[in-house]
């Protein structure tokens, strides 16, 4: 059974709309992250959270907002979607900051 | 500017051969180098990792060779199997933040029976 659940697996959106990507981890980890992989680009760090607090933010755009309602949840809200936002978004977690990362299977977002 | 580079972009080897995947980096503060493997439709999973206190790390058929002076490392997969066919990502991070990984673009490995 997957221990890091990302929903949905595939998502199609229209330009200008808003979507929320869901991530839940059942590993008992205290740190959670978002990474993004756009076409022909490496996996790119976006955010890190520790004990539900934002620790690092590498995303320039405020259109990307992580939301942590529970310790094992870190959702990603994306507003005013653009075609360039099309990518696979990976959620990850680690026991604490600085530990090995465990990844979810990703949400593949396509913005038309 | 890409801080972690991988080569080749894709690699095909015969079953039983040794696959060699290369990685180089630019940032001297990088202190932790994991390799992740990604099968289609699955999650990237940690395969093996090295810290510069040593220049070699071995785990079964997988070995990392590390050259700190040249800022290069390589992953050797001996006795390659078709089940090893996947995309392999080299990553790096500073010791101050092991979780803030910088990834290479990946090497797509195909092992032909």
pLDDT in tens, A81-101: 999 999 999 999 998 776 788
List C-alpha distances in Å: A40 to A52, A81, B38, B45.
Answer: 31, 20, 15, 20
Q: What percent of chain A has pLDDT over 90?
A: 70
Q: Report the relative pairing of strands A10-13 and A107-111 from DSSP bridges.
A: parallel
Give the per-residue pLDDT at B2. Answer: 67
Q: Which of chain B's residues have a Cβ under 8 Å away from the Cβ of A35? A: 101, 103
Q: Which of chain B's residues have a Cβ under 8 Å away from the Cβ of A29? A: none
Mean pLDDT of chain A: 92
Q: Is B45 on the interface with A (CB under 8 A)?
A: yes
The 3-class secondary structure across B58-88, one letter per residue, is EECCEEEEEECCCCEEEEEECCCCHHHCEEE
Task: Give the residue-averaged pLDDT of B61-90.
Answer: 97
Give the per-residue pLDDT at B1. Answer: 58
Tens of pLDDT along B44-53? 999 999 988 8
Higher pLDDT: B63 or B100? It is: B63
Binary contact (A103, B100; C-beta < 8 A): no
**At A84, is the secondary structure helix, strand, or coil?**
helix
Distance CA A32, CA A97 (A): 8
């Amino acid at each position: 059974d997957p221990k890091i659940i990302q929903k949905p697996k595939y998502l199609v959106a229209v330009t200008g709309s808003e979507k929320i990507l869901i991530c839940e981890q059942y590993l008992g980890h205290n740190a959670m992250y978002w990474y993004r992989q756009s076409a022909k680009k490496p996996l790119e760090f976006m955010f890190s959270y520790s004990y539900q607090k934002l620790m690092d933010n590498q995303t320039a755009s405020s259109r990307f907002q992580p939301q942590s309602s529970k310790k094992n949840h870190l959702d990603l809200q994306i507003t005013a979607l653009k075609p360039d936002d099309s990518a696979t978004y990976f959620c990850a977690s680690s026991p604490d900051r600085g530990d090995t990362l465990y990844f979810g299977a990703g949400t593949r977002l396509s913005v038309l | 500017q890409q801080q972690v580079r991988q080569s080749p972009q894709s690699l095909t080897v015969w079953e039983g051969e040794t696959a060699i995947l290369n990685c180089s980096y630019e940032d001297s503060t990088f202190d932790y180098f994991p390799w992740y493997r990604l099968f289609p439709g699955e999650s990237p999973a940690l395969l093996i990792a090295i810290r510069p206190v040593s220049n070699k790390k071995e785990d079964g058929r997988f070995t990392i060779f590390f050259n700190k002076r040249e800022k290069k490392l390589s992953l050797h997969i001996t006795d390659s199997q078709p089940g090893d066919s996947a995309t392999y990502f080299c990553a790096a991070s500073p010791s101050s933040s092991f979780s803030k990984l910088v990834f290479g673009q990946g090497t797509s490995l195909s092992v032909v029976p």
